[in-house]
Amino acid sequence: MLSASSPIRDWLTFSENGTLTRNCFSFRGASGIDGTLSLALGISRIKNPLLLVTGDLAFIHDINGWLIENSIDMNLTILLINNYGGNIFNRIYKENLKEDELKKLFLMPKKINWSKLAEGYQVNFRSVANFKKLREAFDWSISIKKSVIIKVDIDPENEIYEKNALLEKIIGS
């Protein structure tokens, strides 16, 4: 499942040609991020294991979705892309707004202790820093058959540059 905004755009931009033939879930709430976790928890009741790819802002917006009965025993892996707020808006409004306006209105960076948050909801947690560790964390999450949060920190300033560089390589080849 893909949360709204960047995960959907990235999936369609960077994945292989067979992407549209795979089962993939998403939806747009009133502001694009309403109910992301709750929907993933609901889908994971019938389709598991399930992977939810979400940004930090969409995830925290629906964090009380964890209050669903027995949700911690579902086989749901959450890939939490922590880019410190709604980084998609850096692409859209960066040229039109001052930095403080952009942060206040759209980015909303928060310093969250994600491991403590996961502990509070009794959800397994790992933070990874590279692709090898990410693969290991995915294998671990599938093996324990419980809800898991795997967090990857992304530098919001470099994210746009790196995505554009990757896109240029893809288009140029």
Flag whether 140 is in a domain.
yes
Flag whether 45 is in a domain.
yes
Counted domains in the chain: 1
Give the C-alpha separation, 102 to 108, whole Å: 8
> In Å, what is the CA distance from 51 to each residue of 95, 98, 144?
34, 36, 14
Domain region containing 132: 6-16+24-172
CATH code, domain carrying 90: 3.40.50.970
Give the C-alpha separation, 102 to 95, whole Å: 10
Give the C-alpha separation, 99 to 89, whole Å: 11
* Per-residue tens of pLDDT for the chain, all 173 residues: 888 766 767 777 667 776 667 777 877 655 567 788 998 999 999 988 999 999 888 898 889 999 887 777 889 999 998 887 766 666 665 667 777 777 776 666 678 999 999 999 999 999 998 878 999 999 999 999 999 999 998 877 776 677 667 667 666 65
Flag whether 156 is in a domain.
yes
Residue 32: what pLDDT?
64
Residue 144: what pLDDT?
92
Flag whether 1 is in a domain.
no
Residue 113: what pLDDT?
95
Residue 149: what pLDDT?
96
Residue 74: what pLDDT?
87
Flag whether 85 is in a domain.
yes
